Amino acid sequence: MHEATKDRLAKNEALFRDVNERVKRIDAAHGLPADELWDFLCECSDGSCLARVSLTAAEYERVRANAAQFAIVPGHTVPEVERVVHETPRYAVVEKKPAEQAVALASDPRSSG
């Protein structure tokens, strides 16, 4: 896989993560219960994917605790650039491989840098 393709895939994931951060802030501001399932966009690298991933706020926060991780629909993994670190029937968590982590880390909306 070409480096430009890997970079584009990582940027797609970062875009979906940014949208999900905004969704979570809006939902939290409206007092949605943290223990209920919230619908987030699949954070896979497919820029045309509009699938929804259902997670509780706590599950989402566990994914977001590592800027190199993304919540996706099971089966949306791109093994060339990421590996599955956790999977449930509702969602999978993928982590970018070390060589592909730079874009994920640099584009983290929660980063202080």
Q: Which residues of 89-98 are buried (b: 16+ CB within 10 A; e: fewer)?
A: eebbbbbbee
Is residue 111 in some structural domain?
no
43-90 pLDDT, tens digit per residue, is 998 889 999 999 998 898 999 999 999 999 999 999 998 999 999 999
Tokens found for residue 111? 């980063």
Is residue 45 in some structural domain?
yes
11-44 pLDDT, tens digit per residue, is 777 777 887 787 777 766 767 677 889 889 999 9
* DSSP characters over 21-71: HHHHHHHHHTT--TTS-EEEE--SS-TT---EEEE-HHHHHHHHTSTTEEE
Is residue 85 in some structural domain?
yes
Is residue 92 in some structural domain?
yes
Is residue 112 in some structural domain?
no
> Structural domain tally of the chain?
1
Is residue 113 in some structural domain?
no
Find the domain containing 57 and state its range.
3-106
Amino acid identity for residue 51 in this structure: A
